[in-house]
Structure 1
């Protein structure tokens, strides 16, 4: 008989005493979680991380003395706790995106920035986020090599690939940022990206990636044209499909279908790409929880398209890529820092066919 699993040890960090009390209260209700202490600011948090060695830290971003981004930058390179960002409002969207790029596992939004009983509405979301984070693999920002942009890539005279479609979830902001930052400005096909993020954050994410990439990176909107060198990030809360509008390929946004676990859904993007371009799609599934993208991957492969997935060694959560690989749909499993090179090689090979 196996030994019972020990609770996830959590440190709560927030400059609001009331928020600390609420988070301690709601997390302590779970038998799977043990709140080991609270911290009032970033300096206090780093001291308690060093002595208590929690599994997970819930982290406010706007704090005196040392803010949340400072805590993430100062995390130990080995055995760092997983970080769940607890943000005050969508007004902190840029800070949240920066935190996710710096290695935070996920983010949840407080229902109010005020010290009111409404903060107890966080209960279910914060418990789920902590338990998800506890299962994730930590890749500290300090241990991640800088992105090296790809060398100029000559636009093939005849390129078979008409679309690069990427999907990701937990750990996806950093993974997508690294892939897009490593692609050249002369990238010969349009890119469509679905990432599971809270509503209100994808615009800030697209703007951040646009700053670090030589590509034109934009949040999706109806009718936005997909052109070579442009990467389109699906808007949180809306499915992204690719459709034909006359001679142009454009974005189409819709809340339907409603029954998908995620909106946007990687499956919806992949299926629309398979319908429109058939074999002329390169699909990529990056780190993420669950199996969103599996059904769409089946459609792509049935149409003759290629699928590559992120290797387990670099995934924060090896869920989405694993489901595709175990179904026998992946042409290759590639570590994240080799993904851009693999994409370029496959597009070049397709151009030669």
Structure 2
């Protein structure tokens, strides 16, 4: 029996013994993490999984015998609730496979530092990997509280959950918004596919999305979201005008902001310092949009670690705009949405399945 006090148990799956050693050492520098298995391919991972408790699997993509994408659904069937982080080098091919893995049930991904990478890149990778393992392992064990996912049964995620006692909701505005801004991180791609897919054919507003992802991954994310939503969806370009019915994704390593020039609204990209350890970050996007759109700005904060977006949502609410957050039961990690929900910034806190209906009824004024 695994208790919440036990170290988080991790399996590392990579065909390179050197990489397995690097991942193991990086993870075990944290005393709350124990690497309980280290194997070179997906087939051995399937054989090893039933032999000891595992909270998180760090799964390579390209391996002999059985690759990561093939192993993923079998691992999830073998242990429902298992959290899987895909690990790959930063290539378009691997980014596309990682995106497919996210849609197939992987919780998150990490990009391995290049062999010639600088020290700060390796250190950033260690921090990212460790943080994601700890957050997802806590979710796998049913850890509660902001930053973690509860272990409520799946049926609860299908119901309209009332906010808990420590969440105060704001009165929804009667203003119909001119624009939709979305922030997300861990678990975000899956939530974005669901939300925009549910809004397919009815969404006419421009949509700005900041998802914590590196370059190449954001390119692929935009392509996948375009297919899911049926909308024109692309990485934002500096200086381009914001148009109705278009989805703009913040490109990796660039903050995306909005400026007003006369009656036009333009995208501006910058490489100001990371915020909340992220670039792109949600806060700069929302801070720039709040004074321009005021009460006609609708913000949605989806699943993700940390609190990026909370300060930006404070600016949105101060300007008269509205915020909706994904609820804890359906979030992979309830850090970002939990941060805005517990600050009393939201007009609604909803399961991901119900956010599209809320937008259609309360915001778009169209039939649900």
TM tier, smaller: 0.7 to 0.9
CA distance in 2, matches of 1:204, 1:266: 19
**C-alpha offsets along residues 240-290 of structure 1, whole Å, 9 cap, x if unaligned?**
112234443221111225555322221111122211111001111111112
For 1:71-110, list aligned pairs within 5 A.
Answer: 71-74=71-74, 75-76=76-77, 79-91=80-92, 92-110=94-112
Written as runs of structure 1 = structure 2, the 5 A alignment for 1:140-159 is: none
RMSD between aligned alpha carbons? 2.9
Instruction: Check conservation: 2:274, 2:281, Cα contact below 8 A.
Output: no
Partner of 1:218: 234
Q: Which residue of 2 aligns with 1:31?
A: 31
Residues 206-258 of structure 1: CA deviation (Å, up to 9, x unaligned): 11221222111111111233222211111121111122344432211112255
Q: Secondary structure at the match of 1:10?
A: strand
**Contact 2:136–2:332 at 8 Å: present in 1 too?**
no
User: SS at the partner of 1:231?
Assistant: strand
CA distance in 1 between partners of 2:120 and 2:286 (Å)? 39
Tell me the residue number matched to 1:251: 267
Match of 1:133 among 131, 136, 151: 136
Corresponding position of 2:50: 50
Of structures 1 and 2, the one scoring higher in RCO (CA 8 A, sep 6+) is 2
Residue 295 of structure 1: how far off its partner (Å): 1.2
Contact 1:12 1:59 in 2 (8 A): yes
249 and 77 in structure 1: CA distance in 2 versus 1, 3 angstrom threshold: farther
Cα distance in 2 for partners of 1:334, 1:131 equals 25
Q: Describe the SS at the equivalent of 1:136.
A: helix
User: Does the CA contact (< 8 Å) of 1:170 and 1:316 recur in 2?
Assistant: yes
Whole-angstrom distance in 2 between the partners of 1:19 and 1:315: 30
Counterpart Cα distance in 1 of 2:28 and 2:200: 48
1:272 corresponds to which of 279, 284, 288 = 288
Structure 2 unaligned residues grouped into runs of 5+: 141-148, 156-174
* CA-to-aligned-CA distance 1:286-316 (integer Å, 9 cap, x gap): 1111211111111111111111111111011
Q: TM-score, normalised by structure 1?
A: 0.84
Distance in 1 separating the partners of 2:25 and 2:341: 40
Bigger Cα displacement from structure 2, 184-193 vs 283-292: 184-193
Distance 2:363 2:78 in 1: 36
SS at match of 1:279: helix
Unpaired runs of at least 5, structure 1: 145-158
Query: Which residue of structure 1 lines up, in the alignment, with residue 172 of structure 2?
Result: none
Match of 1:7 in 2: 7
Q: What is the CA distance between 1:128 and its match in structure 2?
A: 3.1
Corresponding residue number in structure 2 for 1:152: none
Please state how far the C-alpha of 1:98 moved relative to its aligned partner.
Answer: 2.1
Q: How many residue pairs are counted as aligned between the two chains?
A: 330
- Quickly say closer, same or farther: Cα 1:344–1:50, change in 2 above 3 A: same
Q: How does 1:230-249 map to 2 (within 5 A)?
A: 230-249=246-265
Of the structure 1 ranges 41-50 and 327-336, higher mean CA displacement relative to structure 2 is found in 41-50
Q: Distance in 2 between matches of 1:341 and 1:25?
A: 46
Instruction: Note closer, same or farther for the CA distance 1:185–1:286 as it changes in structure 2 (3 Å cut).
Output: same
Q: Are the aligned partners of 1:160 and 1:350 in contact in 2 as well (CA < 8 Å)?
A: no
* Alpha-carbon distance between aligned partners in 1 of 2:199 and 2:25, rounded to the nearest angstrom: 46
Q: 3-state DSSP class of the match of 2:47?
A: helix
Assess if the C-alpha contact under 8 Å between 1:19 and 1:119 holds in 2: no
Q: 1:343 to 1:9 in 2, by over 3 A?
A: same
